[in-house]
Structure 1
Amino acid sequence: MANIQWFPGHMAKALRQLRENLKVIDIVFELVDARIPEASRNPELNDAVGTKPTLLILEKSDLADPRATSAWLRYYRQHNQAAIAVDVNDRKLTGDLTKAAREVLKEQRARAAEKGIQSETVRAVVAGIPNVGKSTLLNRLVNKKVAVTGDRPGVTKKQQWLKAGKDLQLLDTPGVLWPKFEDQLVGQKLALTGAIKDSLFAKDDVALYAIKWLRKQDQLTALVDRYHVTTEDLSLSDVDLLLAITQRLGFKDDYERASERLIFDLRKGKLGRLTFELPEDSEATDNA
C-alpha cells in the first residue's frame, strides 16, 4: 500500500497566520468530517491554537451514520470537548452555532464581565482540513456566496473575515493537512472522503480499504443494491469482490476505473449514510 502525503506551501503559511490571529479571536471553530471525526482532526492545528477555546463542528453529518454521529458527540462530551453536528441546510444553523459558542465561552465571559468587559459578539476562526466543507458552511452562514466551494481539496487559499448574523464574525482559513501521517489508515480515510487530491493516492488501495470496512461493519449489502453483485460475490476476498464490481459495471478488467466509481459513490452517499471510524476505535488507541 503506497504512502499518502500532501502538504502544499500555502498550508504551512496558513498555520503561521492562524497563530498570529489567535489574539483577535474568541474561539476556534474546528471543522471535521462527521464520517471520520478523529482522522480529520489535524494534530498540528491543535498545537497551533494551544489553550484557545475550541468548538468541534461535525460537518457533512447528512452523509454520516446518524447513530455513529450521536456516539461521537457522547464521546466528545465525556472527554470535555465541546462538539456539535451540523446540517448546512438547517435554517437554525447560525443561531445554533452562536449559542454553542457562547456556551463554550460562558465562564471566560463571566470573568471578563466582572472586570467590566461586556461583548455579545463572537469572533471565531474557522479551521480544518481541506475539503471538509468550510466554504459551504460559511456561504450558508453569511447567506451569500463569499467563499469559493468545490469537490476538491485546497480550494480556499487565503484568509478572510465574514459577518454571519448580528453577533457572529468569522475568519475563514485555507484547509490545512499535516506533513506526515503516522498512521497510514488515517491517510486512507482522508483519501476516501476527499481531503486529499485524487492524483496523490492509489485508487484501488482506497477502494479495497472501503470494502474491508464495509465488510467489518456488515454493510456489504450496499454493494448488491448499487452494483448488482450477487450475495455469493460478497463471500469473495476483497480483491475478487472489487473485480466482480468491475465486471458488473461493464468495465472489463479496468479495476482502477471501478475503484474511482466506488470512491465517488461513497463520497456522495450513494451507498447510504456511512461512518468510517467509531469512538471505540479511539478508545482502543487511547488505551494502547
Structure 2
Amino acid sequence: MAINWYPGHMAKTRREITECIDMVDAVIEIRDARIASSSANPIIDQLCEGKPRLILLNKADLSEERVTNMWIQSLSNEFTKVTVGNSLTGKGLNNIKPLLNELLKEKLDAYRKKGLVKYTIRVMVVGIPNVGKSSFINRVGNNTRAKVGDKPGVTKTKQWIKTKLDIDLMDTPGVLWPKFEDESVGLNLAFTGAIKDEIMDIETLALKLIEVLQTYYPERLKERYKLDELSEDPLVNMENMALKRGAILPGKNIDYTRIAVMVLDEFRGGKLGKISLERP
C-alpha cells in the first residue's frame, strides 16, 4: 500500500522551524508511544540538530509498558531525555520541567551566575499530526490556544503560549515527511490515525492491522471478537470477526467497510488493550 501525503502547509512548516529554531532553548518532540519510531520525523532531526531535545512518548496508556520502557532506554542520550505521558489526562506531564532543567543545566547555571535567576525556558513543540500535540499544549497552557481534533493537521499557525509549567511554548503545525520509504512506517502512521482515513483504502488498512495483531497479539483478537481460533489468513479472520459483530449486508454478504471501521476505531481507542506496534 503506497502512501504519499504532504499537504502544502507542511512544506511551509519546514521554513518556519528553520527561521525560529534559534529563538528557543530546547525542543519538545511529541511521539505516539505505540509507534515510537514511525512517529518520529527525520525532518525534525535535521532542522533541530544541535538543540537539546525532550521526547514525550504520548498516549503511553495505549502502549505496552514493557516495550515503552525499552524505547526510553533506546532513545535517551546526553542531549535527549525521554518521558511518557498522556496529554489528555495530564498524567506524567509534571516531569517535563525537571527534565528540561536537566537538559539545560549548564545554560541555566550560567544565567544564574549573571544574576538572571528567573529565566523562563522557551521551547518549540514539534511532532507529526495527531500525536496529541495540541492536547499537550492545551493541558499545560494557561489558556486554550491550540485547536484540537481527531483529524491530522488541525494546528496550522505558529504561536507562543505561556504555561503552568513556567516555560514558554512555541507551537508549530504538524510536520510529516513527504514520502514513506518503508511501507511499515506508513502503515503504522495510518493504523494510529496520523494519516487521514479519507485518503486510505480503509478495508486494506484494517486487513493489514489484523495481520499485525494476529502475529503479535493473537489472544487480544480472539478475546475481543469472540473467536475460538485464528486462521493464518487475515482475510478469513476479518470475515469471522464481521460475522461475530453482525457486519453483514443483505444477501448474507460481509460488510467489509463496516468491520474495517470497527477494527480501526477499537484499536485506536484502546479497546484491544495496550499494544505497541514496533520495538527498538
Q: Normalising to structure 1: TM-score of the pair?
A: 0.89
Distance 2:159 2:218 in 1: 43
Distance 1:112 1:25 in 2: 15
Distance 1:210 1:241 in 2: 11
Question: 2:223 maps to which residue?
Answer: 225
For residue 231 of structure 1, what is the amino acid of its counterpart?
A: D
Question: 2:133 maps to which residue?
Answer: 134
The one-character-per-residue Cα deviations of 1:174-223 (angstroms, maximum 9, x if unpaired) are 11111111101100000000100001122233222222222222x22222
Question: 1:282 maps to which residue?
Answer: none
1:84 aligns with 2:83: yes
CA contact (8 A) 1:30 1:128 kept: yes
The change in CA–CA distance for 1:102 and 1:154 in structure 2 (over 3 A counts) is same
Distance 2:45 2:39 in 1: 12
CA contact (8 A) 2:52 2:79 kept: no
The one-character-per-residue Cα deviations of 1:117-159 (angstroms, maximum 9, x if unpaired) are 6553110011000011011111110154221111110111111
Question: 1:30 maps to which residue?
Answer: 29
Question: 2:231 maps to which residue?
Answer: 235
1:10 aligns with 2:20: no
Secondary structure of the residue aligned to 1:62 is: helix
Secondary structure of the residue aligned to 2:56 is: strand
CA contact (8 A) 1:120 1:167 kept: no
Offset of residue 111 of structure 1: 4.8
Percent identity (aligned): 39
CA contact (8 A) 1:98 1:122 kept: no
Aligned length: 274
Question: 1:260 maps to which residue?
Answer: 261
Offset of residue 263 of structure 1: 0.6
Offset of residue 63 of structure 1: 1.1
Unaligned regions of 5+ residues in structure 1, if any? 280-288
Question: 1:246 maps to which residue?
Answer: 242
Distance 2:77 2:124 in 1: 25
Distance 1:231 1:114 in 2: 68
For residue 271 of structure 1, what is the amino acid of its counterpart?
A: L
Question: 2:103 maps to which residue?
Answer: 104
Offset of residue 255 of structure 1: 1.4
CA contact (8 A) 1:156 1:174 kept: yes
CA contact (8 A) 1:14 1:174 kept: yes
Q: 1:130-279 counterparts in 2 under 5 A?
A: 130-165=129-164, 167-217=166-216, 219-228=217-226, 230-232=227-229, 234-252=230-248, 253-279=254-280
Distance 2:28 2:80 in 1: 12
For residue 120 of structure 1, what is the amino acid of its counterpart?
A: Y
Secondary structure of the residue aligned to 1:245 is: helix
Q: Normalising to structure 2: TM-score of the pair?
A: 0.91
CA contact (8 A) 1:61 1:85 kept: yes
For residue 76 of structure 1, what is the amino acid of its counterpart?
A: L
Distance 2:38 2:273 in 1: 20
CA contact (8 A) 2:127 2:133 kept: yes
Distance 2:75 2:44 in 1: 17
